[in-house]
Amino acid sequence: MSVDALEEDQKSVNLPTGYWTYTVDNLKWKKQLTAVPEPVDLLSYSLSLSLMCLSSPQQLVGVVGLEVHAQINSNTKLFSSSPARFSAPPNSLVSFFDASLPGTLPVLNKQCVEAAVMTGLALNCTINKKSLFDRKHYFYADLPAGYQITQQRRPIAVDGVLSYSLLGGKTRNQVIRKRVHIKQIQLEQDSGKSLHDDARSQTLIDLNRAGVGLMELVMEPDMSCGEEAAAAVRELQLILQALGTCQGNMSEGQLRVDANVSVHRPGEPLGVRTEVKNINSARYLARAIDYEIQRQIEVLQNGGTVHNETRAYDSKSGETIPMRDKEGLQDYRFMPEPNLPPLIVYEDDASLPTGIDACQTVVVQKIKEALPELPGVKRDRLVQTYGILPEHSFTLLNEDGLVEYFEALLKATKKEPRKVIGWVTNDLLGHLKRHDMSVSQSPISAAALAELLELQEAGRISSSVAKQVFQDMWRSPGKTAPQIIQEQDLGLVSDAEHLCSACRASLQVHAIKNGNTKVLNKLMGLVKKATKGRADPVMVRAILQEKISR
């Protein structure tokens, strides 16, 4: 059967990577954002965008809450010991329990519990020492049991805060700090995947994902526009990746976001909300939310009413469209999961009951001690330690491995961090992005770049030559900066005789009036050209001045 005939369902759409660039370069993102294919009303679109984040009392403003499903990074599934892995032959990662064969029972994965506790701690949540599992019923072919095991009544973590920052201001270099409250984090099972074969009117089911552990994070409606939501999700993604509790790759569905959107006038009760699903990247998240806010404002301004419905985001048209949903409220028939006693976690070793098996316990204190440096803390540290600009700290954090590269570079060079940062965020990152490479794939190691920077710092090469050598090092990996400089004879020329003759030559080319210092810069340019950029500018200036004034 042809794969083209298949259409992946909304939970499993694949998109190319690299759409996170917008926080790296907000201007670029804004460009993409406003470049909506429809020429219809770009003006009102960007107008509404600027209005959304500013709240004036009479204006309708957007209110955004998010539900994020994060796949737990574990070897095995939440309740069965079959592998939890992306991309494998269909149904090869399925146990009898995952296929809901009669007589099978759930056995909870300790790793998943620890991941949820760790994530909860990183988001300043209260960890419920006793949490409960529930069944949520719905009938769909990729959920073979007919119910999902989740935590509805008493989730593992509640009442947290996610701090995130936006780059704002005219030049997008002002850091605006924001907070969004985390209502709860619950452990639950993922569903399988459906492939719809419309031509043959059938659905193909792959249960590889069925039963993989998820953390559902419910955020309070504390955001007001797409940009805020996207920034919050980006920060969450960085936190999850720093913790290692979720790989956070949106294109592989490891991080899935649904947005609850409504509009109201500030001070008034919240409006009727819609749920926007089918969002597969941060860029689309921002666009979908801003589109939906604008749509609801228009509906209300035209005297209509907003309906409580589920809408899907169509990335091609940039619109949200109503999903064909069951009429009336969905009844999930929640009930306590009878096969799982309550989940107990312990505060510290002192609170462990006597005689309990240590490998059977999850101790919050131990997980707290193992928390790594979180992105927000790391950014502040970089700014304080190295005196770099806050926006540079965002750029460094946004690229996996770039902070480590930057710090390794600083260790190996005496150059000031503020001078080094440009090499990393402009030259290196620019080259990496152009070639769609990660930091770990860089042909220029931190040590090699440090060697180049040292040569420049010591005055052996000029800054323009340094850039040229960097290009050559990129093109021929393995070659060191001194090698390239020697091969191409690029060392800074400080030999007075050599420079004198170059200056003389340029004087001949360019006839000048005595004492006319305005042409000095032009002459310096000519000398630079004649010496292939290797002339020491200070010496050239001195020689020329001497010759001119003579």
Partner 1 sequence: MSVFSFTISRTCPGVSQKIARPSLKLLTGDGLPATDRRKCCLQSSSTTPRRLFSSPPHNPKVPQVPTWEPVPEDQLPPPTQVPADLVDKLERLALVDFRTKQGLDCLEKAIRFADQLHVVDTTEVEPMDSVLEDRALYLRNDAVMEGDCAEKLLQLSKNTVEEYFVAPPGNIPLPKREERTAILKHSEF
Q: Which two tokens stand for residue 190?
A: 């993922």
Least separation in angstroms between residue 323's CB and partner 1 is: 10
Binding track over 213-252 against partner 1, x by CB under 8 A? ----------------------------------------
Report how far residue 14's alpha carbon sits from residue 253's, in angstroms, rounded to the nearest whole number. 8
Is the CB of residue 240 less than 8 Å from the CB of residue 205?
no
67 alpha carbon, distance to own chain's centre: 17
Nearest to 195 by CA among 111, 93, 90, 288: 90
Please name the residue that has the structure tokens 């409250």: 181
Least separation in angstroms between residue 434's CB and partner 1 is: 40
If binding is defined by CB under 8 A, does position 110 make contact with partner 1? Answer: yes
Comparison of 92 and 476: residue with beta carbon closer to partner 1: 92
If binding is defined by CB under 8 A, does position 7 make contact with partner 1? Answer: no
Least separation in angstroms between residue 191's CB and partner 1 is: 12
Nearest to 420 by CA among 459, 469, 456: 456
If binding is defined by CB under 8 A, does position 359 make contact with partner 1? Answer: yes
Comparison of 18 and 342: residue with beta carbon closer to partner 1: 342
Is the CB of residue 248 less than 8 Å from the CB of residue 281?
no
3-state secondary structure 40-94: CCHHHHHHHHHHHHCCCCCCCEEEEEEEEEEECCCCECCCCCCECCCCCCCCCCC
Query: Contact with partner 1 (CB under 8 A): which of 117, 127, 187, 207?
Result: 207
If binding is defined by CB under 8 A, does position 108 make contact with partner 1? Answer: yes
Report how far residue 516's alpha carbon sits from residue 121's, in angstroms, rounded to the nearest whole number. 70
Non-local CB neighbours of 110 within 8 Å, separated by 6+ positions = 359, 360, 362
Of 314-343, binders to partner 1 (CB under 8 A) are: 324, 326, 328, 331, 333, 336-343
Least separation in angstroms between residue 127's CB and partner 1 is: 16
If binding is defined by CB under 8 A, does position 91 make contact with partner 1? Answer: yes
DSSP one-letter string for 407-419: HHHHHH--S-HHH
Least separation in angstroms between residue 46's CB and partner 1 is: 37
Least separation in angstroms between residue 320's CB and partner 1 is: 19
If binding is defined by CB under 8 A, does position 102 make contact with partner 1? Answer: no
State the residues that interact with partner 1 by CB under 8 A: 1, 74-76, 80-83, 89-97, 99, 101, 103, 105-113, 132, 137, 139-141, 194-196, 198, 201-207, 324, 326, 328, 331, 333, 336-344, 356, 359-362
